[in-house]
Structure 1
C-alpha cells in the first residue's frame, strides 16, 4: 500500500514502460477507490485502471452508479470496476456489517447494473431499496462490473450476476480452476452466455530478500499452510507463476507486490521489462 500522493508517479511510470493495466484498492482506512482511479486516469492517456474492489456495504448503490458513470463518461473504456463484500471486520468498525453479505451483494449488483444501463429502478430488497431512481447521465457504453470473491457461494454468485470475477491473492492455481467451474455453474443457472472475465491477483517478490518477504506476507495472513500461494524469484520464476494462473483460467493476472516492497518503481519496471516479455 502506498500513500495517495505516490500514485501519480507509479501509474505514469506503468504507462511509460508499456503496461496495459494497473489495479488499485479501496481498503479501510487507506485510499478511496473512485478518487484514486479518476486521478490515475487523468494523469495518463492510455493505460486501463482497475478498482478491485469497492466494498458494497460502504456505498449506497445509487452513489456508486453515479460515480462509475461519471468516470466512464470522462474516460470511456479505460476503467474496470469490482465490487464485493469488503473485509467484515472493517465493515463492523464502521457500522456497515450486514447479516447476509451474499444477499446484499446480489441485490446490489443487480441494481447497479440496471442503473448503469440507464434504467429507471425501483426495488425493495432486504438491503437495497430504490424508489424510481434513474441516472441523469448514464454511461454511453456498457460498463464491466466484476465481483470480488473468495468463498464458493460468492464465486458462484459472481457467475450469476456479474460480468467478471476478481480472485484475491489468496487463491492458488487450483483455486482458480475451482472458481472457473463455480462461475460456469452460476452462469448456467442464470441462463447467461457470452464472455466472463476472470482477474486473479498474484503476490510476487523479487530481489535477494524476495523469498523471505513473500513468506512473511503469506504467514502474516495466516495462510502459511496453503501451498502454491505467491511467487518469488527472478523474471522466469514470476512469469511461470503468471502462466500457472493463466492456464488455470485467469484472463488477467495482476502482480501484487508485498506490502513491504522496498522499491515499488523498480517492481513496476521489473514486471514490464523482464516478466512481460516472457508471458506475451
Structure 2
C-alpha cells in the first residue's frame, strides 16, 4: 500500500505548524513533511515541535542540506529525536540549493562526493558505530554517539541528476524525488537507483519517495501554472478534485514510488484545509 503524506511548506509562518500538525494527526494522515529551505525554517526544530504536538504522526524532513551541517551534529540531532519519538522521524539529507550554499560560504566543489561521504558516515553513526573518516569533505576521528538510536533509522537522500540518484541507491536507504518529477521520471530514477545498489552490492529495501504538486479549488489550473517552472516534467503536478489528485498519486505509485507526498502551492491560503483534504478525501481513493 502506498504511503501518503503532505507538506507543510516553510512559506507559512512557523507558528502555523502546530495547527497543521494537529489536523494531520486528527485526520489520520500518515506523514507530514517539512523543508529546511534557506532561509526560512529549521528542519530539526520544526520536526521536534511537530513530533511533540502529536502522538502517532510520522514527520519527514525533506531535506537537510549537508554542506550546511556537520555530519556529527546531524547524527546527534536525529538520534535524539529518534529516541524521544521512536520510529516517527523520517530523515532526509541532500545537496541543498547550490546558490544558497554559496550565500553562507558552504558551497563545495563536488556535491556528489560530499553526499556520498556524508551518507556513509551518518548511517554508521546512527547505527552506533565508532567512526573514523578521512574523506575529501567528511573527517571524523573516533566519533561515536553516546545515545544512538535503539534501532538504526533509515536515512533518505534527495537527488535530481543521474549521478546523485545513483549515489542514493548506493549509499542511502531511500531516495527523495522532488515535485518536478513525473511518473516517467520515477521509472527512470528507479533504474538509476538499482544501478547504484548493484554497484554497492546492496540487497536491502530501498524506499522511493515522490513529491506531487497538487492544487484544488476553482482556480486550480491557474495556480498550478503559476507554480510550475521550466524544470518541471510534462506530467508533473495536478490540478483538480480529489479524484484527479488520487489518480496522479496512483500513477506515481505504479511507476515505482513507495511513498507519495502531496505538496500545496506556496500561496496555499488554507494549509490546514489542504492537509485535511489529502487525508480525508484523497487517501480513501488511493
For this structure pair, what is the TM-score category when the shorter chain's length is used for normalisation? over 0.9
Matching residue within 125, 138, 152 for 2:148:
138
Structure showing greater relative contact order (alpha-carbon pairs closer than 8 Å, 6 or more residues apart): 2
TM-score of the aligned structures, taking structure 2 as reference length: 0.95
Matching residue within 254, 263, 279 for 1:256:
263
Gaps of 5+ in 1: none
User: How does 1:61-210 map onto structure 2 within 5 Å?
Assistant: 61-210=71-220
Inter-partner Cα distance in structure 2 for 1:252 and 1:125: 33
TM-score of the aligned structures, taking structure 1 as reference length: 0.97
The structure 1 segments of at least 4 consecutive aligned residues displaced by more than 4 Å after TM superposition are none
Matching residue within 26, 38, 48 for 1:16:
26
Gaps of 5+ in 2: 1-10
Q: CA deviation at 1:262?
A: 1.6
Secondary structure at the counterpart of residue 80 of structure 1? strand
Aligned length, in residue pairs: 276
1:38 aligns with 2:41: no
Secondary structure at the counterpart of residue 92 of structure 2? strand
Question: For residues 208-248 of structure 1, what are the alpha-carbon distances to aligned partners after superposition, in whole Å with 9 as ceiling and x for unaligned?
Answer: 01111011000xx3336x31110000111000000010000
Q: CA deviation at 1:92?
A: 0.3
2:13 aligns with 3
Inter-partner Cα distance in structure 2 for 1:117 and 1:268: 33
Secondary structure at the counterpart of residue 105 of structure 2? coil
2:37 aligns with 27
What RMSD over aligned residues (CA atoms) do the two structures have, in Å?
A: 0.8
Secondary structure at the counterpart of residue 110 of structure 1? helix
Question: For residues 142-183 of structure 1, what are the alpha-carbon distances to aligned partners after superposition, in whole Å with 9 as ceiling and x for unaligned?
Answer: 211000011110111100001000000011110000000110
1:237 aligns with 244
Question: For residues 80-137 of structure 1, what are the alpha-carbon distances to aligned partners after superposition, in whole Å with 9 as ceiling and x for unaligned?
Answer: 0000000000000000000000000000000111111111111111000111111111
Secondary structure at the counterpart of residue 119 of structure 1? coil
Question: For residues 54-98 of structure 1, what are the alpha-carbon distances to aligned partners after superposition, in whole Å with 9 as ceiling and x for unaligned?
Answer: 000000000000000000000000010000000000000000000
Secondary structure at the counterpart of residue 98 of structure 1? coil
2:253 aligns with 246
